[in-house]
Structure 1
């Protein structure tokens, strides 16, 4: 497997993802709990050629009807890899490329220059990332700015915002649309 830091052969546009080029980005779901969210995130990953990683255990079976329904018929095209634990993930991907998404992070997504091969790590729907993984003061910890009256955004919504901002910066920044 190519390292995410190796962007020399990375996809040059979202449509290149169907080729053998490394994915333009990686999405990591840490112990996901809601199959519909995972299905929707999987569909977004297919749309952009992004690889989806699942850090187990998940709170549901991957053959659940709710997961498949949310992913529709795109699930068969999804580049997905399951890993048994956090350590296994850090052995397969370069931790220096990780960005941790949390409402507690000090830095916003808008302040972060993103690059091909970045890895976006999302925590559980109910409790986020554990403290041994997330340091809110780490510059790689990012948040989406929201009104303080909103406790949190849906995981699939947040993931979509993050990966489309990644696409904008990597493929469309400075280009007329």
Structure 2
């Protein structure tokens, strides 16, 4: 365990400025199980917690990659997300989530194959799988809306077979 802690200290020193950004992620370079969860501590409540099977940080490019069962929690903006992979590009200040992505923010949800979160703009850009669609569900404030959901009108089920009548014979 002591060697893992030592590796984390060295990782922090190698990443330098990337870890003191107001919103940052920190990953471990293929470290063992005790360091699966990574959280950058900034002291101002804008930390993002990332959980994943594997996390890597590249100090040369400033890119942090989390792969496998990725879970992100960003309480300052009330964002929770899951994906197969997440990449944080510290220089561009964006997070790219890929693989069956689900994002929840203040009750609103967004699903897609690739979702990019532009941190400075607070904006999501979602792309679907080929030949599919992105799905979003928004909570809309409408004081005139009924409190109970309105049921759709009841229509008889479609019957592709026509109903035949008994033939009438001529008298």
Interval of TM-score (by shorter of Structure 1 and Structure 2): under 0.3
Higher relative strand content: 2
- Structure ID, larger Rg: 2
TM-score normalised by the chain length of structure 1: 0.20
Point out which structure has higher relative CO (alpha carbons under 8 A, 6+ apart). Answer: 1
Higher relative helix content: 1
